[in-house]
């Protein structure tokens, strides 16, 4: 195919979008940034498998017809769920929106992409932990050890605040206001939005004891509540915390079969949402407490009841997708490498 002038422009815009624009203006979430990159890697992997070389790459390959073929490829070849396809499409549209702002000649690509229909997704019932399961999990840490006392505070805050895992990892001492008339935490959520999470006396007492033991009178206000000793007082990794949660789930499951063995942090968030519903809070109040931008997201929690025999919350990636070889994780060939998308 004829060599085009578009290829270097597209490659440069990809680098700008991933390295500069997205982390500075779109999100501070590592998961969301990874989602943008994964979508772009998969798109150009798709083009590459369909014979598009760096020399031939042009704006034509970003048009609606190609994107729709990509969605079909995600569904049929990679066995992605409708939800995953919709997420990939949304991430790719973000890039096209940026491209439109930078290159007026390519603005039509973003407008055309908005006409692509989302995949129809079956309504999901979101599951959480029962109250007995939560109690069993909070009884699992060995509070005779320092790590056990830390983990009890961590698990208690996960449930008490219904916070996302990264929000808990990001709490600093100056986000904690235990001396207020109504003690609370300031949580830094998606899109750098801050919301308030009020604390009950048990959580306050645990926090006070933990902070005194960990920092005494010397802790700086910008110190993390849960620092990592391995990374020089940086954030604890999500992998490390997930491993701790699953260890306690295995212990708790011996005494309470309501505790799924693959329990993860987000289950506490869903559990708290379901218990708020049972306690009579309105859906608007719960939307505020969870930090959801759209009330439709919160509406999913209406189906939760603790009488359900819950297992684990479905992960973002289906079991079918997990079993599919991720070819794009291998060393990329010409086009993906040319676009600077080597993983």
Task: Tell me the C-alpha to C-alpha distance, in Å, between residue 148 and each of 119, 185, 243, 256.
Answer: 45, 22, 14, 20
**pLDDT (0 to 100) of residue 76:** 94
What does the pLDDT look like over 76-106, one tens digit per residue? 999 999 989 999 999 999 999 999 999 999 9
Task: Tell me the C-alpha to C-alpha distance, in Å, between residue 231 and each of 141, 168, 226, 237, 330.
Answer: 23, 17, 12, 9, 28
Q: How is domain 131-313 classified at the CATH fold level?
A: hpI Integrase; Chain A (1.10.443)
Q: Where are the chain's structural domains?
A: 6-123+320-338, 131-313
Which residue positions in the chain have pLDDT lower than 50? 1-2, 304-331
Supply 21's token pair. 């624009």
User: ∠16-21-3 over CA atoms, to 5°?
Assistant: 25
Contact 136/255 with Cβ under 8 angstroms? yes
**pLDDT (0 to 100) of residue 333:** 53
**pLDDT (0 to 100) of residue 343:** 52
**pLDDT (0 to 100) of residue 120:** 87
**pLDDT (0 to 100) of residue 220:** 60
Contact 81/71 with Cβ under 8 angstroms? no
What does the pLDDT look like over 293-332, one tens digit per residue? 777 777 765 553 333 323 222 222 333 344 444 444 444 5
**pLDDT (0 to 100) of residue 320:** 36
Enumerate residues 6+ apart whose C-beta is below 8 A from 5: none
Contact 40/343 with Cβ under 8 angstroms? no
Supply 25's token pair. 């203006």
Query: Taking the CB of residue 27, how many other CB atoms lie within 10 A of it?
Result: 17
């Amino acid at each position: 195919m004829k060599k085009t002038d578009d290829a270097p422009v597209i490659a440069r815009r990809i680098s700008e979008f991933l390295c500069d624009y997205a982390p500075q203006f779109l999100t501070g979430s590592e998961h969301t940034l990874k989602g943008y990159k994964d979508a772009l890697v998969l798109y150009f992997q798709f083009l590459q498998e369909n014979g598009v070389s760096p020399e031939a790459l042009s704006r034509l390959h970003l048009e609606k017809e190609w994107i729709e073929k990509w969605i079909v490829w995600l569904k049929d070849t990679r066995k992605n769920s409708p939800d995953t396809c919709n997420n990939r499409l949304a991430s790719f549209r973000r890039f096209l929106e940026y491209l439109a702002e930078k290159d007026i000649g390519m603005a039509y690509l973003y407008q055309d992409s908005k006409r692509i229909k989302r995949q129809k997704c079956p309504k999901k019932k979101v599951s959480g932990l029962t109250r007995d399961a939560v109690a069993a999990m909070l009884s699992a840490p060995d509070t005779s050890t320092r790590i056990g006392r830390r983990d009890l505070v961590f698990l208690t805050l996960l449930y008490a605040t219904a916070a996302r895992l990264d929000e808990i990892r990001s709490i600093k001492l100056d986000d904690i206001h235990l001396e207020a008339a109504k003690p609370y935490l300031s949580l830094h959520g998606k899109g750098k939005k801050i919301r308030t999470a009020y604390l009950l006396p048990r959580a306050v007492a645990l926090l006070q004891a933990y902070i005194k033991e960990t920092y005494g009178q010397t802790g700086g206000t910008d110190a993390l509540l849960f620092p990592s000793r391995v990374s020089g007082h940086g954030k604890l990794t999500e992998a490390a915390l997930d491993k701790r949660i699953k260890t306690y789930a295995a212990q708790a499951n011996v005494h309470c079969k309501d505790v799924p063995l693959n329990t993860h942090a987000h289950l506490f968030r869903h559990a708290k949402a379901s218990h708020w519903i049972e306690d009579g809070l309105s859906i608007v109040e719960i939307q505020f407490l969870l930090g959801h931008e759209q009330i439709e997201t919160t509406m999913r929690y209406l189906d939760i009841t603790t009488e359900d025999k819950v297992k684990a919350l479905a992960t973002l990636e289906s079991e079918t997708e997990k079993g599919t070889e991720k070819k794009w994780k291998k060393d990329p060939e010409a086009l993906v490498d040319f676009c600077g998308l080597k993983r």
